[in-house]
Each structure stands twice: as structure tokens, then as C-alpha cells.
């Protein structure tokens, strides 16, 4: 990775960290990236950071350089269709996506490419106020006032946009009260904005079980997403091959090795591609 590309990854990291209350929270949301590493990158002290670490970091903060090409995998196509549909028709969707299929990369890339699209990742430590603060920050708004005031301010902001979209990633990490707040927010945006609530299968199971057990608020959550989850649990049969081809690997033996070694996770492909060639990949 060139020095210029590292500067662009640093800029993407700064934007990513800006979605969290503290740098420690941002680090906690990233796999294999510590708060001290974030500090080194932000300050430009990255001489000792490995190429593998840069690729891992770039993938998670939604950056890819010229050599890195996204592929039309099952997850990539499905999510972009749903994001576009939610944005154009002010729909609310609940999506359950297996780990390692590329949901965060796809969502963050879509948010960069489309105006008035706001992307926020859920964290276990969020309370209602800190979660709303992150949403306001993603929209470029100052979070001052009571909760009702913040919600109204955000709803007014969204209603003034032509086709706004709010994407909540890792919603399975949110506490019950924060999930309930999200639904209140969705209700206030009905007809004015699209909302996509994404998580792993724990989110789907949690909400369906909550409805079955008649837990307070869960039926309203399920109702807001049309009483269904759109699910994708594993890679498609050609997904890894398409990612390899999109990034310059065509030899059957190499594609076969990467397919077997990635263990149904696109998170591992960048390292595998680097090991098999000098191309760099984010999935």
C-alpha cells in the first residue's frame, strides 16, 4: 500500500472514529485494531504497522484503494438493492446477515456514494442518549437538548431531505431500550426517510422470541419492519470466485485454495489474496 493510500485510509479512519463518543469505543467496534493503533494512524506514526494491519483496517472502515475492487457477491447485490429501495420509497427493513459476508463494507461504501445516507454501528454500551448522539453526529447535527428535542430535530432534518436513508449496523448489540428508541425514531420518520436495521442472526432470533414471549415493545419492533426479516446466512457458491476475479486472481488452483481457506468469511480474503499474490483486496 502506498503512502498516499495510507493517508486516505487515515482519513477514512478519522471519519469512522467520528461516529463514536470516544476513540476507545471505536476501537472496540473494530476487529484486531486497538485504540493505540488508531492514535498512531491519526498522528501519521505508522512506519511499524504491517501491510496486513493496513488491509484489515481499510476493510473495516470502508475504504478501498484503486487496486481493490468490490465484487457482485450475494450480500453486496442484495444489500445495495435493499438500500436503494428503502431510500427511494422511504421503507423500513430488518436484515439478518451472517458474519463475514461483507455487510459493513457494503453499507459504508453505499453511504459514501449516496447523498443523505447516514451509517451508524451499534455498540453494547450505548444508552438512549449516546446512541441518539451518534445518529445526530452522522447527520452532521449537534446533539443538544432533551431526547424528545433531539428526535424531533433529527426527524425535521430528514424530512427536509429529498431521499434520506439511515442505516443501523450491528443492531443486535443494542440494549432493549435503545432498540425501542430506534423504533420510535422510525415511526417519526414514516413516509419521509428509509431505515435499514441490520444485524446478525441474534437480532432476528431475539426479536422473534421477544414477540413470542410478549416482551414489552417487541411486537412494535417487529411490526415496524413488516413482520419479517430479510436473511442471508452464508456465501453464495460463486461469491469467493467473483471476489478473486474482480481483484485479478483467475488461476483455478489459487481460487480453489482461497475458497477453501476463507472458511465462509470474506473478512479473511484480503490476507489470502495478499499471500497468493501482491494484489490488495477489501471485501
Residues 6+ apart with CB under 8 A from 66: none
Q: Are 59 and 265 in contact (CB under 8 A)?
A: no
CA trace torsion 71, 53, 122, 190 (10° rounding): -30
Residue 199 CA to residue 67 CA, distance in Å, equals 29
Same domain, 64 and 79: no
Q: Are 9 and 63 in contact (CB under 8 A)?
A: yes
Q: What CATH number is associated with residue 87?
A: 3.40.50.300
The pTM of this model reads 0.75
What local confidence, expressed as pLDDT, does residue 132 receive?
A: 94
Mean pLDDT (the chain) is 87
Same domain, 257 and 222: no
Total domain count for the chain?
A: 3
Same domain, 100 and 223: yes
What local confidence, expressed as pLDDT, does residue 75 receive?
A: 93
Q: Establish if 279 belongs to a structural domain.
A: no
Tell me which of 217 and 158 has the higher pLDDT: 158
Tell me which of 50 and 246 has the higher pLDDT: 50
The 3-state DSSP class for residue 212 equals: helix
Strands, sheet with 230-232, edge to edge from the N-terminal-most edge strand: 117-121, 165-169, 194-199, 92-97, 230-232
What local confidence, expressed as pLDDT, does residue 277 receive?
A: 53
Q: Are 100 and 70 in contact (CB under 8 A)?
A: no
Per the structure, the complete domain to which residue 29 belongs is given by 1-68
Q: Are 92 and 227 in contact (CB under 8 A)?
A: no
For residue 281, pLDDT over 50 is answered with no
Same domain, 185 and 135: yes
Of 220, 124, 225, nearest to 181 (Cα)? 220
What local confidence, expressed as pLDDT, does residue 280 receive?
A: 41
What local confidence, expressed as pLDDT, does residue 197 receive?
A: 96
Same domain, 103 and 227: yes
Q: Establish if 282 belongs to a structural domain.
A: no
pLDDT in tens, 163-212: 999 999 999 999 999 999 988 898 899 899 999 999 999 999 999 999 99
Same domain, 98 and 194: yes
Same domain, 83 and 214: yes
Length of the chain: 283
What local confidence, expressed as pLDDT, does residue 282 receive?
A: 42
Cell of 165: 436513508
Same domain, 252 and 193: no
Percent of the chain whose pLDDT exceeds 90 = 49
Q: Establish if 267 belongs to a structural domain.
A: yes
User: What pairing do the DSSP bridges indicate for beta strands 230-232 and 194-199?
Assistant: unpaired
Same domain, 8 and 88: no
Same domain, 185 and 97: yes
Secondary-structure percent of the chain, ordered helix, strand, coil, rounded to 5: 55, 10, 35
pLDDT in tens, 89-103: 999 999 999 988 989
H helices, E strands: number in the chain: 14, 5
What local confidence, expressed as pLDDT, does residue 275 receive?
A: 67
Of 159, 180, 257, 162, nearest to 223 (Cα)? 180
Q: Establish if 30 belongs to a structural domain.
A: yes
pLDDT in tens, 12-67: 888 888 878 888 888 988 888 999 999 999 988 888 888 888 878 887 776 655 45
What local confidence, expressed as pLDDT, does residue 283 receive?
A: 44
Amino acid at each position: 500500500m502506498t503512502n498516499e493510500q495510507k493517508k486516505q485510509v487515515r482519513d477514512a479512519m478519522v471519519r469512522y472514529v467520528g461516529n463514536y463518543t470516544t476513540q476507545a469505543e471505536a476501537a472496540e467496534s473494530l476487529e484486531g485494531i486497538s485504540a493505540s493503533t488508531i492514535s498512531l494512524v491519526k498522528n501519521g506514526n505508522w512506519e511499524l504497522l504491517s501491510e496486513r494491519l493496513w488491509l484489515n483496517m481499510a476493510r473495516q472502515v470502508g475504504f478501498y484503494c484503486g487496486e481493490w475492487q468490490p465484487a457482485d457477491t450475494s450480500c453486496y447485490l442484495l444489500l445495495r438493492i435493499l438500500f436503494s429501495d428503502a431510500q427511494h420509497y422511504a421503507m423500513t427493513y430488518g436484515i439478518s446477515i451472517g458474519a463475514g459476508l461483507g455487510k459493513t463494507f457494503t453499507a459504508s461504501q453505499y453511504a459514501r456514494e449516496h447523498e443523505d445516507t447516514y451509517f451508524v454501528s451499534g455498540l453494547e454500551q450505548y444508552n438512549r442518549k449516546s446512541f441518539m448522539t451518534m445518529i445526530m453526529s452522522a447527520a452532521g447535527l449537534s446533539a443538544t437538548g432533551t431526547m424528545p428535542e433531539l428526535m424531533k430535530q433529527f426527524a425535521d432534518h430528514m424530512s427536509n431531505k429529498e431521499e434520506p436513508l439511515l442505516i443501523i449496523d450491528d443492531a443486535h448489540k443494542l440494549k432493549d431500550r435503545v432498540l425501542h428508541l430506534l423504533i420510535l425514531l422510525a415511526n417519526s420518520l414514516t413516509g419521509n426517510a428509509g431505515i435499514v436495521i441490520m444485524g446478525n442472526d441474534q437480532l432476528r432470533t431475539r426479536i422473534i422470541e421477544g414477540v413470542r414471549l410478549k416482551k414489552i415493545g417487541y411486537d412494535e419492533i417487529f411490526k415496524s419492519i413488516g413482520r419479517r426479516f430479510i436473511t442471508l446466512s452464508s456465501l453464495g457458491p460463486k461469491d469467493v470466485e467473483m471476489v478473486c476475479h474482480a481483484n485479478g486472481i483467475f488461476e483455478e488452483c489459487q481460487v480453489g485454495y482461497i475458497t477453501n481457506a476463507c472458511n465462509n468469511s470474506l473478512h479473511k480474503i484480503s490476507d489470502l489474496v495478499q499471500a497468493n499474490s501482491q494484489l490488495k483486496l477489501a471485501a
